[in-house]
Amino acid sequence: MTDHVQTFAALRNHLHQTALLASAAELLQWDERTMMPPDGSEFRAAQVAYLSGRAHAMRTSEQIERWLDELDGWSAASDPASDIGATLRLTRKDYEKQRRLPGQLVEAIASATVRGQGCWDAARRNDDYAQFQTALDEMISLQRNAGELLAEPGQSTYEALLDQYEPDARVEDLTRVFAGLRDELVKLLSEITASPRQVDDRLLKQTYSVDGQRQLSKALAAAIGFDFQRGRLDETSHPFCTSLGPSDCRILTRYEENWLPGSIFGTLHEAGHGMYEQGLPQDWYGLPPGSFVSLGIHESQSRLWENLVGRSLAFWKCFTPLINETFSETATPAQWHACFNRVQPSLIRVEADEATYNLHIIVRFELEQALISGELSTAELPFAWNERYTSVIGVSPPSAANGVLQDVHWSAGLFGYFPTYTIGNLVAAQLYQAADAALGNLDRQFEQGDFAPLLNWLREHVHTHGRKYTADELIQNATGKPLSAEPLIASLRQRYAQVYDLESSPG
């Protein structure tokens, strides 16, 4: 017994030290994107590579396997959802995954990523897909190789890649749920575009001082519950959220003088990510009980605060006085709300509204599966891309730069990553629906600026569990139902009914 306790302490210490190193690497990267002087890049890359390499070596150390073997059958680990049980179970899973990829392949992918991003960047600048095609072919072949090595029995190659970002997700389930979502979104979109009431969002394109946006962003993040004693908000060109320790979460946003929603919803989005990190059990930082479940669940937290909360009429009933005062404006809550919910099918995913965003993802989800399986060649890809955009979203990319070349993901080897965005949207709506049912009228609470009940509900049903449950288990436990598209569809329909004067049940 005492042996087990000591062995576990040694394992836990090893994992804690790995987290110390990995979080230092995170700081190096946060600093690179916010503070570092221009000429610091080269040495910074060497620092990050060295620390990340050391952390990787610690994660794949054979000592881990020896400790785990010694702890096999330890009664304290018998409950797989206990702290100890989850730590042993998931550490073994992570270890085995990491060990399955030979160092040579990991290095080949790392170096193909650098090359791939360079080619992609040039191709996009020159609007010339051909400059990227060879690098993409190489990356697909490496990822296929990795997927084959990672696949568990019964898992397809693509599913194994997806598993890196969304553990235990099944392509079959996602395909079914996404298909239902797609049909409903296409229907909703046609109703919106056919509506006689349209939204004029010139209000959002006036000049808004960056200082004012900075104050407003900080006030909104604090209001919904982002803890500034344990975090900060900064500025960068590509917003993100990073956790540098159990009480040090950094979120970043971007301020554009002539596009107000960028900073507001960017901040709410990253604050949602940040509050998830701040709600994870601190004592287990970097270990499974203190880690996030999956990218989809992480994204559900950001999308919930950005869209379900931040784009609600109740939210703007609460904050219209503040935004009007900050910018000497006089718009009504309904006007702000309408502007922030304008729908306009467009070519670019990252600029998409909520009605079309998931359609962009579904196109990518289908295409990347076909690329990995080999059904689709990279030569055919641009045509397939344009064909889907025209048929699904109703817009036809005039150029590769605005079409197949718009995202960095594939050039960086991120196959299986895109679906996590839509999983996030689905889970956000499903959690919100359950919280609303459990807590009574959330809208009324928001109107009064009271976001604590919702945050506490999320803490209890999502954050506090770390990685102890799979995404599916977590959703089932929190909402009583498996993942479904219905809550998201209902939520969008209800919101757009307000803005576009639609019927609130499908027409």
Residues forming the annotated binding site for Zn(2+)? 269, 273, 299
Q: Which of 163, 166, 184, 248 binds its own copies (CB under 8 A)?
A: 248
* Residues 23-28: contacts with CB under 8 Å, at least 24 apart: 23/243, 23/244, 23/245, 23/286, 24/51, 25/51, 25/52, 25/55, 26/242, 26/243, 26/244, 27/244
What residues numbered 267-326 form the site for its own copies, per CB under 8 A?
285
Quick check: 241 and 277 in contact, CB under 8 A? yes
Strand 231-235, strand 249-253: pairing? parallel
The minimum distance between CB 277 and its own copies, in angstroms, equals: 12
- The site string for its own copies over 57-96 (x = CB under 8 A, - otherwise) reads ----------------------------------------
Q: Output DSSP code: residue 281.
A: -
Q: Can you tell me which of 8, 11, 15, 51 binds its own copies, judged by CB under 8 A?
A: 51
Stretch that binds its own copies, among 210-218, 230-238, 330-338, 469-477 (CB under 8 A): 230-238
Hey, what long-range contacts does 183-186 have (CB within 8 A, 24 or more apart)? 184/485, 184/489, 184/506, 185/355, 185/356, 185/358, 185/359, 185/489, 185/492, 186/359, 186/392
* By CB under 8 A, residue 12 contacts its own copies: no
State which of residues 46, 57, 81, 452 lies at the interface with its own copies (CB under 8 A): 46
Indicate which single residue of 246, 262, 466, 487 sits in contact with its own copies (rule: CB under 8 A): 246
**Chain centre distance of CA 417:** 9
27 binds its own copies (CB under 8 A): yes
| Under rule CB under 8 A, residue 28 binds its own copies | yes
The distance in angstroms from the start CA to the end CA of the chain is 65
Of 1, 2, 37, 328, the one binding its own copies (CB under 8 A) is 37
Torsion sign across C-alpha atoms 281, 286, 287, 293: positive
Which residues are annotated binding-site positions? 269, 273, 299
Q: How far is the CB of 457 from its own copies (least distance, A)?
A: 23
Among 20, 219, 401, 438, which residue interacts with its own copies (rule: CB under 8 A)? Answer: 20
Among residues 38 and 154, whose Cβ is nearest to its own copies? 38
Q: How many residues does the chain have?
A: 507
User: Closest distance between its own copies and the C-beta of residue 60, in Å?
Assistant: 18
- Binding status of residue 47 toward its own copies by CB under 8 A: yes
Helices 381-388 & 354-373 angle (0-180, nearest 10): 150
Q: Which is nearer to its own copies, 416 or 466 (CB)?
A: 466
Candidates 18-26, 197-205, 293-301, 367-375 — which segment interacts with its own copies by CB under 8 A? 18-26
Write down the least CB distance from residue 47 to its own copies, Å.
5
What is the footprint of its own copies within residues 190-229 (CB under 8 A)? 228-229
Q: What interhelical angle do 486-500 and 354-373 show, nearest 10? A: 140
- Mapped onto helix, strand or coil, the DSSP state of residue 226 is coil
**d(C-alpha 261, C-alpha 350), whole Å:** 13
Burial of 69 (0-12, 13-18, 19+ CB in 10 A): exposed
User: What's the rounded Cα separation, in Å, for the pair 167 and 298?
Assistant: 12
Q: Does 119 bind its own copies (CB under 8 A)?
A: no
Q: Rounded distance, CA 304 to CA 272, Å? A: 7
Nearest distance from C-beta of residue 226 to its own copies, angstroms: 11
Shortest Cβ distance from residue 245 to its own copies (Å)? 4
Question: Which segments within 169-277 are labelled E, that is strand?
Answer: 231-235, 241-243, 249-253
Residues 180, 190: Cα–Cα separation, whole Å: 16
Of 177, 189, 199, 244, the one binding its own copies (CB under 8 A) is 244
Please tell me whether residue 23 binds its own copies under the rule CB under 8 A.
yes
- The strand pairing partners of 253, in sequence order, are 235
- Determine the size of the site formed for its own copies (CB under 8 A): 34
Candidates 36-44, 98-106, 150-158, 462-470; binding stretch for its own copies (CB under 8 A):
36-44
In this chain, which of 5, 9, 10, 35 binds its own copies, going by CB under 8 A? Answer: 35
The yes or no reply on residue 40 touching its own copies (CB under 8 A) is yes
The one catalytic residue among 270, 306, 354, 368: 270
Q: Applying CB under 8 A, does 14 fall inside the site for its own copies?
A: no
Place of tokens 């230092």: 24
**159 annotated active-site:** no
Residue of 232, 254, 388, 409 that binds its own copies (CB under 8 A)? 232
Is residue 368 at the binding interface for its own copies, with CB under 8 A as the rule?
A: no
Query: For 451, which DSSP code?
Result: -
Binding positions for its own copies, rule: CB under 8 A = 17, 20-21, 23-25, 27-28, 31, 35-40, 42-44, 46-47, 50-51, 228-232, 244-249, 285
Residues designated as active site:
270
